[in-house]
Structure formats: C-alpha cells, structure tokens
Amino acid sequence: MAGQNQSHATGKIWGMALIFLALLAIGCAVFLAMRPALFSFVSTNVLDVVSIVPQDAVEAGAEWRLVSQWRKPGESGNERNISVVEFKHVPGWETPQPIVLKQDERNQRIEGTYKPAVFSEQTILTVAGESSLAQRLVPELARLYLLRIGAGEVRRIPGKNAEENTVQGIFYATSEIRSIRIEGKAIPSGWGALRQEGYDVVLAAGRLSDQQAMLKEDPTAAGMTRHAVGLDAVVLVVHRDNPVAALSLEQIHKIFSGEIASWDQVGGPAVPIKVFALQEGSGTRWAFDEFFMAGRNLAQAARLVDSQEMLSDLVAQDPLAVGFCSRAFAGQCREVPLKVMPDVAPVAPTAQSIASLSYPAFRNLYFLLSMESKNIYARDFLDMVLGSAGQETVRKFGFVSLLKTPAISAQHEGGGRASMASAGPLPPLVQLDGEVVTEAARRDVLLAYREGVSGAQRLQSVFRFDAASINPDREARAEVDRMARFMQRRENAGKQLILVGFSDSPGDYASNLAASRKRAEAIANEFRSRGIQALVLAAGEEDPLESNETKAGREKNRRVELWMR
C-alpha cells in the first residue's frame, strides 16, 4: 500500500513538472513572439537588400544608410521601432526620398532611384581672337574664374576643331551651368567684325598704337577698350640637339624663303633644313611674316601646320627641323637666340629679355572689351586676369606677367585719349625735390614709350648730354655718322630707326619730359641731315639706368637710346 502511495506521488510530481514545462514553453513562445530581437536564432533583418539605380549614379558616389528616426521628448515607445533609409546627395543627381521602415515588416527589398538633375544653362562670356591665347591660356583663366564665382566643378568641352572649346562651371547649389565659350580666330576681318559677331572679349597679340595699329585698324574705332594682360614673343624653335648657337634676322628670312637650304650655311652640320610653318591666318604667322620675313614669301617646300602645338611637337622630333611659334608653345624644342647686329650679342627669348624689350620679336597681349557692353562678367573676368592669381596663371603658361614688368596696359576713357590702366604696379620713381607725380601722368608716358618701341631691337649706341645742353657734341655726331652708314646698308632697307629721349630727375616731371624729347629731336635732326628718318619718343625720368642721387648716375640717365624696327 505504501509502495502504491509513493508511486502515485512520483507520478503527480512528474505531471506537475510536465505541466510547468508546457507552461514555460508556451511562455517562451509568447515572449519570443513579442521580443524576437533577444534571440539570435530568430531573423531580425528588416532589410534584405537596398539597391541603387542607375549605375551612373553609383559610379558618381551614390550610397545609402539606415538611421533611427529623430524623436521628441514624451514620444510613445512604438516609434522607436521605426527606422529610415537615407540616400546620399550626389552632385548632378536628384536624391531619392528617404524610406521609412517598421520592424514588423521583415526582409524588405527597396530600391533608390536617382534621376539626373535638371540644370539651367547660361553662356556668361564669349571670347574670340588670337589662337596663342585661345588654345591654352584663356581656358585656364576661364576655369579659374568659374571656380572663383562659386562653381563646384569645372569641365572643358572640346569644340568642332582645335580652335574652339567651352569651359563649363557646374553650380550644384543653384542647379546652374554657366559657360565661357572660347574661339581662336584670325583677325584679318578686323576688330569691328568680331565685335559685331557679339563677342564680349576679343583677344589680340601685337601692338596697338596710333603709329602702327595692328592690321592697319585701330580697335578704338570699333568702340573697344584695350587692356594689356601680359607679353609674349615669336620664337624660332629647333630640335634640342641642333648645334646652331644663334641666327641673325637675315639668316632667318633666307631659311624660311628657301635661299638657305642646308644647316652648314649657318654654322650647323651639312644636312638639309626642313622648314615648318603655320598656316596663314593666325596672329603668330602674321607677326612672324611682319618681323622676320621682311616682305619675302615663304618657301614652297615649307611644311604648313595647322596649330602651334603640332608644329612644336614635329620640330621636337626632327633634328633637321626649324619652325616658329609663340614662346608659350615651344614645348620640348630649343629656342634659338636672335643676333640682330654683328656687334651685338645674341638675345634669347627669356622672360627677362622680353619684359625689358631686349628680345626684339616681343608682342603685347591684349583683352579688348566693348565700350558699350553691359556684361558684368566681362569686366569682372578682366579684373581677375589682372590680379595676382590671373597673372600667376599668365606666367605659368609660358607668357610674361605684367606684375614683374612696367605696366603697359591702356584703356580709352569715354572714347577719347588713351591712358594706362591699372594693370600692375609702376616701377619706383624717386623725386629728389619731393614732387608728387600722378600715376595717370606716368602711365601715359610709359604707354607711349613702350608701344613706340614695340617689336624693335635696342641698339648699343647711346647719346649722352650735359645737364644744361640739348645739343649733340662732336662725339655724338661721329656716332650719328657711323649709324647712318649702318642704316644705309642693303640689309637694313625698310628698317625704321627710333630715338627715345630720357632725363634725370632734378626739376619737375613735365619739364624733364619736354627736355628728353628735345634731345631726341636734336639727334633726329642729325640723322635727317644725312638722309635717315627717325621716329622720336620721350620717356623723361622713366627707366633710369642709375640712381639720380649721384652726379654720375644723373649723367648716365640723360641720354637718347637708339632702337631699330
């Protein structure tokens, strides 16, 4: 009986245990259903996959992330189970809207679809002219300007030929594309024609003065203002291994006209000369013909090339070759020094020789703007070019910056008299008597002087004067005789003689300028009496050779320099 009672008690305990385990299992199942995140063996993935389309957006940097929703104080607990899939903003694309997720929705598959953003487009500047500027320098200046006014990205779009391209600034904040259109154009049609075509800025390389306007047309007549932005030079280029040390102007025009056909005729090896030249129509070809060819035609055997970059590449690869281009396009070629006179050392086209006008084939670089233009970008663009960042870009691309040379820029105010623009600092001027000379007066003098000798070579002859005299002495007359004979040589037929008068600084600026002109006129009269005509310029106290604080310095500064073009 006792055994049965014990067995019954054991069964009862096991029954209660089974009931407890059943209740526990049911409780766990309910708890599991309510709190699945606490159990690793139950899937907690709200998301299965997030895809992004199109692939272009992915390559541009499109991404997604899962973040908790922002909550305010006192929110109900249910909101903590909500999450948001966000998509990263990618410039140039419309970002998909965030997607709200609830954790009771499992293994969701969502897709973020990016769409290309719609941008408004505007051409803010049109620029045309000299190819030396249009092909390389101006696109970089355009890039710099667009970044300066807020572009998030800048890209260069090639045109239908090497002379045309567009620089675009992408403004993501405002969904805008602002473009600067650039075209390299020959100038035989004239400045007025370019203006009539609607260009905001015209590019020029050369000299623009009343005495010798480029292509016989003054841009002011077309209603434009001119602004010098730097200097350039037309250079002769050969292969790096070419042993010819220098070439005279006569040798150059004989080489390119075909009269000299072998390098041994100019000091090189006995091999034929292969001549490369630019096609007619470019400003660089025009400048070369004017300065180097002296009216001669190009040799029929010359190989004509479309672009300066191609010309320099061809010459750099050919030991027999010679060509010409802008200094900025010389590339891997060697630039040949010029020997203008037998008793004058050759001059290489360095930045220093171009800035000092010692290298004769230099040319000014100009931006021309319409006087009537209402385009605010044109003036703002010019101001940047004339500033430190723009001028550093000018230097970087092989041209000569104005910031390290006397200012030679000019603009026409009200369609009238030309005056120097504020393109850079003026060289220092020490007035011993304390006179204050206006910047405008100095810029006018420098403009007339610098443009008057543009394209000319300074000769060694210098005429000096006593303080109280404007008349040449016996030594000066003897030098005039020598130079008159030199100018009468056959090779100098058609050359122009230029006389520039200078003074020391005691006395007022205007009187010294007048005295320097009288001294130059006195020398010019001596040449005229010998049948030689000369152009007279006056620089007064500008460009002193020595300090005016010493007697010896003042004597050196009272001079007339001789130039030839």
Number of Cβ within a 10 Å radius of residue 48: 11
DSSP labels, 262-298:
BGGGGTS-SSB-EEEEEPTTSHHHHHHIIIIITTPPP
Judge whether 182 and 193 are in contact, CB under 8 Å. no
**Residue 532: what pLDDT?**
86
Beta strand pairing call for 93-94 and 99-102: unpaired
In angstroms, the CA 504 to CA 499 distance is: 17
**Residue 268: what pLDDT?**
94
Q: What six digits make up the tokens of 51?
A: 């895809």
Q: What six digits make up the tokens of 564?
A: 């030839």
In angstroms, the CA 422 to CA 406 distance is: 11
CA distances (Å), origin 505, targets 53, 446, 455, 520: 76, 16, 28, 17
Helix, strand, coil % (nearest 5) of the chain?
Answer: 35, 25, 40
Residue type at position 250: E
**Residue 227: what pLDDT?**
82
Three-class DSSP category at 180 = strand
In angstroms, the CA 409 to CA 397 distance is: 20
In angstroms, the CA 180 to CA 139 distance is: 8
In angstroms, the CA 442 to CA 436 distance is: 11
**Residue 45: what pLDDT?**
67
Judge whether 412 and 226 are in contact, CB under 8 Å. yes
Judge whether 245 and 389 are in contact, CB under 8 Å. no
Judge whether 500 and 560 are in contact, CB under 8 Å. yes
In angstroms, the CA 150 to CA 275 distance is: 47
CA–centroid distance for 152 within its chain: 20
Where do the structural domains in the chain lie, given as residue ranges?
Answer: 47-116, 120-231+362-420, 234-355, 439-564
**Residue 112: what pLDDT?**
92
**Residue 40: what pLDDT?**
41
Q: Tell me which CATH code domain 439-564 carries.
A: 3.30.1330.60
* CA-based nearest residue to 498, from 483, 513, 476: 483
Using CA atoms of 387, 388, 389, 391 in order, give the dihedral in degrees to the nearest 10: 80
Q: Identify the bridge partners of residue 94 per DSSP, sorted by sequence position.
A: 115
As to burial, measured by CB atoms within 10 angstroms (0-12 exposed, 13-18 middle, 19+ buried), residue 441 is middle
Judge whether 206 and 287 are in contact, CB under 8 Å. yes
**Residue 215: what pLDDT?**
42
Query: Between helices 376-386 and 388-396, what is the axis angle to 10°?
Result: 70
* Low-confidence residues in the chain, pLDDT < 70: 1-12, 15, 17, 27-45, 68-82, 103, 186-196, 207-223, 404-426, 455, 466-469
**Residue 4: what pLDDT?**
54
**Residue 245: what pLDDT?**
94
CATH architecture assigned to 234-355 = 3-Layer(aba) Sandwich (3.40)
Number of Cβ within a 10 Å radius of residue 82: 13
CA–centroid distance for 302 within its chain: 31
**Residue 322: what pLDDT?**
97
Domain 120-231+362-420 is found in CATH 3.40.50.300: no
In angstroms, the CA 381 to CA 393 distance is: 13
* CA-based nearest residue to 137, from 182, 96, 99: 182
Judge whether 475 and 459 are in contact, CB under 8 Å. no
Label each residue of 120-175 as H, E or C.
Answer: EEEEEEEEEECHHHHHHHHHHHHHHHHHHCCCCEEEEEECCCCCEEEEEEEECCCC
Three-class DSSP category at 239 = coil
The reply to whether 234-355 shares the fold of 120-231+362-420 is yes
In angstroms, the CA 513 to CA 88 distance is: 69
**pTM of this structure:** 0.60
Q: What six digits make up the tokens of 444?
A: 């006018």
The dihedrals phi and psi of 491, each to the nearest 5 degrees, come to: -70, -15
**Residue 11: what pLDDT?**
64
CA–centroid distance for 97 within its chain: 43
**Residue 144: what pLDDT?**
96
